[in-house]
Amino acid sequence: MFGRIELDKLAQEKKTLVAESGLNRLVLLAEIQNLRDATAWVSEAARWPRKAGPLLLLLAPLAGFLMAKGSRRPDSWLNKLAVAAKWIGPLYTLWKSFSASRREAEDGEPAT
């Protein structure tokens, strides 16, 4: 089997590994504490929507009313956005048809 020197060497290596493991455990605990300290604000930030929920339920209809009232004016930004949204679909279809016909002319075969 092993000689006494090898057994002493292995015992010393075991002690070294156990001590290193203890140090690593302490470092890990310190890092966990630092992580908890650094992320403590997350729990508070997660509570904010629950606290503000009832207020948001009251403010949502008011915001909708104000946006609807603002969209009745012809110069409002919401009205301009709605007009732009109406044109996006037809313009995209027109762009696709020109793009397909250009590709068809370049390739010499119909595009699908």
Domain boundaries defined on the chain: 73-112
Token look-up 């966990």 returns 32
Q: Give the dihedral of Cα atoms 63, 68, 72, 75; nearest 10 deg.
A: 50
Q: List pLDDT tens digits, range 60-109.
A: 888 787 777 765 666 777 777 777 888 888 888 888 887 777 667 667 66
Q: List pLDDT tens digits, range 9-49.
A: 999 999 999 999 999 999 999 999 999 998 888 888 878 77
